[in-house]
Amino acid sequence: MHNPMFDEKGRVWFTSRVGPPANPDFCKKGSDHPSAKLFPVEQSNRHVSVYEPKSGKITLIRTCFPTHHLVFAEDANNTLWTSAGGPGSGVIGWLNRKMFDETGDEVKSQGWTALILDTNGNGKRDEYVEPDQPIDPTRDKRVVAAFYGIGVNPADGTVWGTVLGFPGYVIRLTPGPNPPATALAEVFEPPMPGYGPRGIDIDRNGVVWTPLSSGHMASFDRRKCKGSLNGPNATGKHCPEGWTLYPFPGPQLQNVTESGSAEASYYTWVDQHDTFGLGKNVPIATGNANESLLALVNGTFVNLRVPYPMGFYTKWVDGRIDDPNAGWKGKGLWATYSTRTPFHVEGGKGTTSKVVHFQLRPDPLAQR
Q: What is the pLDDT of residue 256?
A: 46
Is the pLDDT at 11 greater than 80? The verdict is yes
What does the pLDDT look like over 244-271, one tens digit per residue? 999 999 888 876 455 688 899 999 999 9
Residues 88-144 pLDDT 10s:
678 999 999 999 999 999 999 999 999 999 999 999 999 999 999 999 999 999 999
Q: What is the pLDDT of residue 2?
A: 61
Say if residues 149 and 159 touch (Cβ distance below 8 Å): no
Domains of the chain, residue spans: 248-368
**pLDDT reported for residue 363:** 87
Percent of the chain with pLDDT over 90: 84
**pTM value > 0.95:** no
Q: Average model confidence (pLDDT) for the chain?
A: 93
- Tens-digit pLDDT profile for residues 107-122: 999 999 999 999 999 9
Output the pLDDT for position 251: 86
Looking at the DSSP bridge assignments, the partners of residue 80 are 72, 95
pLDDT tens by residue, 305-332: 999 999 999 998 999 999 999 999 999 9
pLDDT at position 262: 87
The pLDDT of 284-303, averaged and rounded, is 96
The pLDDT assigned to 253 comes to 80
What pLDDT is stored for residue 1 in this prediction?
A: 55
Q: What is the mean pLDDT of residues 200-207?
A: 96
Q: pLDDT (tens digit, 9 = 90+) per residue, 182-193?
A: 999 999 999 999
pLDDT per residue as tens digits for the range 154-185: 999 999 999 998 999 999 999 999 999 999 99
